[in-house]
Amino acid sequence: MQFLRRIGLILLWLAAPVVAFAAANKNDPYLVPLRGAGNIVLVVASIAIVMLLLRRGRWRTMAGKLLVMLWCLPPLLMSAAHLKFELRKHDVLGASAAEARQLGPHFMVGYSAFPEVARLAEQGLIGGVYVTRHNIRGRTIEALRAEIAALQDKRRAVGLPPLVVAADQEGGIVGHLAPPLTKVPALATLSSLAPDEQQTKAEEFGRIHGRELAGLGVNLNLAPVLDLKPPQRRNRLDFHTLIGQRAIATDPVVVSTIANAYVRGLEDSGVGATLKHFPGIGRVRTDTHHFSASLNTPVRELEATDWLPFREVLSHSHSALMVGHVTLTAVDPDRAASHSKRVVQGIIRDKWNYQGMVMTDDLVMGAIYQNDVCKAVVEAINAGVDMLLVAYDSAQFYRIFACALDGSRQGRLGAAMLHASETRLVRSFPTEQARAASGRVRVVDRH
């Protein structure tokens, strides 16, 4: 029994700093599973342990006093973290109408709580929403359709433009609304077909996705993936990107052929496409969901291979372009492409003359979030990025928007860049599609 007590005491000493760290960082994206009930359990457990230690007389010794104090920390640290979050949230929600008009259109946010996202939409603090599997978990597709329509109605009621509503329906392993929407095979399954058949089937896949998404009120699909398929070797540092299973082919001509047809099917159904993840992550060995990553290939080689599908599909469609969090070392070794002016303005805008919507990959990814996220937000806007995506953890919106708000108040955001971006968003394909899609949803609901 004495041995077990000593083991228990050792475990309490080891667990105390871990629990305190989790409490202090309760709002970190990696601790999303601890939100809500998990936080309550941590606090209750800490208080119970303190009471147990006091009852056992641990307060009588110096070591015991220290252990009790350590277990008093989690509730205090969690309260401090929550207060910091609420103060930041209050500051964002208290932004002036002028600040909301200037910055809001540049943010797309995922959400779990409808009342919270509805408030952001009504105040003009966001320009788009992202819907995924947790928005349909335990619910009907009709409920999500009605929710999207309600958001668009709220925007209309306050005289704001329709929201861009995005989903992630690539086919294959990434189809976050399938089921209940149709589960479509990955576009990679078409790569072995004859070119004519590739186009026919890819366009059919695009029409299936487009028809179902448009009926739901979604007007922008975050697909297709145009990264070239990497060599067939397992990447042990790739936990979530899994680009080898998502990329269409190793041949840029095949990728272009299939992607062009797929995008055509989407657009004919009234849904915009998003080409991702420029400048290409097929050659990258590190998963940007968790780590910084570099693409060290010379630009001339990328132009002749990886970038051919991007330029080809952009020239034949109204697609948006998603820029990933990989550092293109030959162009800008100091920052990820998603917030590099040399990449966005220098290559995409100036060299390619692309004037459509450029958006970032999710800013709640380790490659950005675990570094200086505020610097990345300001640099992305100043680089000419039009839409900043906050998808995985909607609570991070307040931190990320606060970065833009502080940048604006300190005069660190370029007025010319913001104006040019606003012009692109107003005339962009997805926003026009939003008006049509919101109208279609009202007709569906009326019947």
Q: In whole angstroms, how far apart are CA 10 and each of 6, 14, 61, 140, 269?
A: 6, 6, 16, 49, 62
H or E segment at 207? Answer: helix 195-216
- Cα distance between residue 273 and residue 224, in whole Å: 7
Give, in degrees to the nearest 5, the angle at Cα 406 between 400 and 407. 90
Question: Which residues does 331 contact at the CB level (< 8 Å), separation at least 6?
Answer: 299, 337, 340, 342, 343, 346, 347
Chain centroid offset of residue 153 CA: 24
- Cα distance between residue 120 and residue 305, in whole Å: 41
CB–CB of 366/337 below 8 Å?
no
Tokens of 414: 């370029």
Burial class (CB in 10 A: 0-12, 13-18, 19+), 88: middle
- Cα distance between residue 273 and residue 39, in whole Å: 39
3-state secondary structure (DSSP) of residue 33:
helix
CB–CB of 212/259 below 8 Å?
no
CB–CB of 235/244 below 8 Å?
yes
Strand 272-278 vs strand 220-221: parallel, antiparallel, or unpaired? parallel
Question: Which residues does 368 contact at the CB level (< 8 Å), separation at least 6?
Answer: 325, 336, 338, 339, 376
Question: Which residues does 258 contact at the CB level (< 8 Å), separation at least 6?
Answer: 187, 190, 191, 198, 199, 202, 224, 248, 249
- Cα distance between residue 176 and residue 137, in whole Å: 11
CB–CB of 166/362 below 8 Å?
no
Q: Which residues are catalytic?
A: 289, 361
- Cα distance between residue 253 and residue 226, in whole Å: 11
Report the chain's terminal Cα–Cα distance, integer Å.
71
